Amino acid sequence: MSVAPDKIRNVMLAGHSGSGKTTLAEALLFFTKGIDRQGKVEEGNTTMDFDAEEQKRVASLSAAVAPVEYDGVKLNLIDVPGLFDFELGMYEGITAAESVLITVEARGGLSVGAQKAYKLAMKHHKARMFYISKVDVENADFYKVFDELKAEFGASLSPLVIPHVSDSGVTYVNLISDKAFTYAGGKATQVDMPDLGDRYEEMKNAMYEAVAETDEALMEKFFEGEAFTIDEVTEGLRIGTKTGAITPVLCGAAPGLEAMDMLLFNMKALLPSAHRGGGMAAQQGDAEVQVECEPDGPLAAYVFMTVADPFVGKLSYIKVVRGVLKSDSAVVNSRTGENEKLGKLLFLKGKKQIDTTDIGAGDIGAITKLQNAKTGDTLCAAGNVLSIKGAGFPGPTYSMALRTTKKGDESKISTAMQRLLEEDPTLAYRLDPETKQQVMSGLGEQHLDVTVAKLKAKFGVDVELSEPRVPYRETLRKKVKKQGRHKKQTGGHGQFGDVIIEFEPTDSSELVFEENVFGGSVPKNFFPAVEKGLRDAAERGVMAGYPVVGLKATLLDGSYHPVDSSEMAFKMAARLAYKAALPEASPVLLEPIGTLKAYVPDGNTGDIMGEVNKRRGRVMGMNPGEDGLQVVEAEVPVSEMHDFTTYMRQLTQGRGYYEFEFVRYEPLPQNLEGKVIEEAKKIFVDKDEED
């Protein structure tokens, strides 16, 4: 049975890897009796980390959903990975959520993962709340972390629950009610207010100041030194959180269920409901529209995540933005324009699937076996077709070539990869027509390692990874004229073709063929055969076997035999002329060059410029970018960019990113030609032997 939108809170749990997101989700589920046993990440038995690879690596690798029922409200928790190689989950989750609960470790302090989550929430106008985790561990320092957060994100931060640590444990002070509690087994016991010194007034004033910003009357009251009532504080916090003017800060220790009750209360009271914050922008025809979260309107549901499994089948995670999705609903996929046949409707609690007959506006669920739908699609009522706008996804930057360890499995890779591409829009796969390699691209080494593990576990395809080959080119620098003569006598008709061709450089990337024959020395009907022979030959250069570009060939003269000449004979003659001419035409190797846009913090610009120079690149300039980052623009050889993703991540601790796009070919430095030629000998089979 569907839940009213004003009783739903869709909350994404985000933050740096290891900051306690999955542990917090487990604690909230156990505290509200949503699960019978509280699992542990390190033991691989939590509700959210149910995938075998997650349990093996002791880290979340994909988004997971579970509902928490609390005081008449349904809190749909979306636990997303903190590892940067698996950022896809954060981009999937941000679309389905109205709020982002960002976890920060009390011992580790402000992290890059928290900064990225906050910026993504800001960009997509989502309400934000900080949860400072692990306040009970040794060397934890809530107040140091709070100061770091305030320095980074400004005065909008409002502490609501603060800890007092002593030898006997942690006492949690609720700044709204001015009450203090200790916890045992998740049960709260009110105790006397501990002596917090100046910290209490400092935190209380920070909360009042944030609340005062939401209302002129409250601001006046604040300046006059009057105390706010609990109702005034709560309403000010609710309004400020919804508008983004306030970011509440809470704390706790999830393994011991400490302060879970206060966190849940504030999530219910302060975070916007699906009804208030669940509307989404969409495109309808030529117009941009806002789809509000209303149960009575025509259906509009967004597919925010896809899981492809060879045994269970495809599972499409959806958020119903408007209307009610029922098992017998007639829906249209706005991308394809076709009707989608619905499978079973489900609510999810990690891997547990709960059958339902309907999913209401604002709620999150899943549909089995949607044939054509993929992540980012909108399912609509037939009479009201529109496309909801998603958050987009980061593009793949790290590539490796795939090779099966077992002969005969080559064809399986393509089928398996197509299934994995359905669930991971940050993954790419292609068969390189030049190098003949199957190339997989993702967000980093771990991303591709996990994909390889999935290929084996889910599809039985065992592969090895290697650095992909670079598609070099060859060209010539001077004009050469050569004869190609093919003569072969057999028992019957012989083969005869004779051509004189002039080869020279040109600006075209394609072979330019012309003929300048007089007197019929080569009949016109053989001209296409000569051109075809040259085009086939130009697919392999004479230096390293790479395709030849910038080549113009002019047929000048030749001879023929009225009986033995044929198209095949003239094709062979053209190839012989090509092979004779190219070595004497000052051939050179060309390497692909791309444009690099590296988005980095200001303090890393010098390092990036130095690295570009080390990689034989040329820095073209620097400009200010988004989020306070600087954009270093450069041109760099493709062969030098293979591990740049890893370098960028290490240099900037994950803050930076880059875009790289091929632009042209340039001559490879002569001192590097020998290595490329030697590598090519291992790759290409000598065509002369084949012929």
Q: 30-89, pLDDT tens digit by residue?
A: 999 999 999 999 999 999 999 989 999 999 999 999 999 999 999 999 999 999 999 999
Asked which of 448, 466, 484 is the last residue of a domain, the reply is 466
Question: What average pLDDT does the segment 638-650 reach?
Answer: 95
Extract the tokens encoding 622: 């620097």
- Domain range for 557 is 474-586
Question: What average pLDDT does the segment 281-297 reach?
Answer: 93
Q: Is the pLDDT of residue 241 over 90?
A: yes
Give the per-residue SS3 of 390-415.
Answer: CCCCCCCCEEEEEEECCCCCHHHHHH
Residues 6+ apart with CB under 8 A from 648: 598, 600, 656, 657, 658
Extract the tokens encoding 248: 């509440």
Q: Considering the domain boundaries, does residue 682 fall inside one?
A: no
Whether residue 245 sits in one domain with residue 212: yes
* Nearest Cα to Cα of residue 304 among 373, 376, 395: 376
Whether residue 266 sits in one domain with residue 240: yes
Whether residue 307 sits in one domain with residue 290: yes
User: Within 13 A of 210's CA, how many CA atoms are on the CB side?
Assistant: 30
Q: Considering the domain boundaries, does residue 689 fall inside one?
A: no
The CA angle 362-366-372, to the nearest 5 degrees, is 115
- Domain with 110 in it: what CATH number? 3.40.50.300
410 vs 413: CA distance, rounded Å: 6
- Domain with 580 in it: what CATH number? 3.30.230.10
Partners of 366 in beta bridges: 317, 346
pLDDT at 313: 81
Q: Helix (H, G, I), strand (E, B), or coil: what is residue 361? A: coil
Q: Is the dihedral of CA 222, 224, 230, 236 positive or negative?
A: negative
Whether residue 481 sits in one domain with residue 448: no
Q: Considering the domain boundaries, does residue 296 fall inside one?
A: yes
Q: Considering the domain boundaries, does residue 365 fall inside one?
A: yes
Q: Is the pLDDT of residue 170 over 80?
A: yes
Q: 403-425, pLDDT tens digit by residue?
A: 998 887 778 898 899 989 999 99
Q: Is the pLDDT of residue 118 over 70?
A: yes
Whether residue 204 sits in one domain with residue 102: yes
pLDDT at 689: 42
334 vs 300: CA distance, rounded Å: 10
Whether residue 569 sits in one domain with residue 542: yes
Q: Is the pLDDT of residue 686 over 50?
A: no
Whether residue 230 sits in one domain with residue 137: yes
Whether residue 158 sits in one domain with residue 288: no
Residues 6+ apart with CB under 8 A from 613: 619
Extract the tokens encoding 132: 């400072």
Whether residue 372 sits in one domain with residue 293: yes
The mean pLDDT of the chain is: 93
Whether residue 141 sits in one domain with residue 40: yes
- Domain with 340 in it: what CATH number? 2.40.30.10
Question: What average pLDDT does the segment 183-200 reach?
Answer: 94
- Domain with 646 in it: what CATH number? 3.30.70.240
* Residue 60 near residue 21, CB atoms below 8 Å: yes
Question: What average pLDDT does the segment 157-176 reach?
Answer: 95
Q: Considering the domain boundaries, does residue 679 fall inside one?
A: no
Question: What average pLDDT does the segment 286-311 reach?
Answer: 91
Residue with tokens 């038995």: 45
Q: 495-520, pLDDT tens digit by residue?
A: 999 999 999 999 988 899 999 998 78
pLDDT tier, 1 (very low <50, low <70, confident <90, very high otherwise) = low
Asked which of 567, 586, 605 is the last residue of a domain, the reply is 586
Whether residue 404 sits in one domain with residue 322: no
Q: Is the pLDDT of residue 685 over 70?
A: no
pLDDT at 254: 97
Q: What is the pTM of this model?
A: 0.89
pLDDT at 491: 63
Whether residue 453 sits in one domain with residue 324: no
Q: Considering the domain boundaries, does residue 80 fall inside one?
A: yes
Q: Helix (H, G, I), strand (E, B), or coil: what is residue 474? A: strand
pLDDT at 492: 66
Q: 649-683, pLDDT tens digit by residue?
A: 999 999 999 999 999 999 999 999 999 999 888 77
Extract the tokens encoding 505: 């450089």
- Structurally, how many domains does the chain consist of? 5
215 vs 221: CA distance, rounded Å: 10
Q: Considering the domain boundaries, does residue 690 fall inside one?
A: no
pLDDT at 222: 86
Asked which of 388, 415, 436 is the last residue of a domain, the reply is 388
Q: Considering the domain boundaries, does residue 122 fall inside one?
A: yes
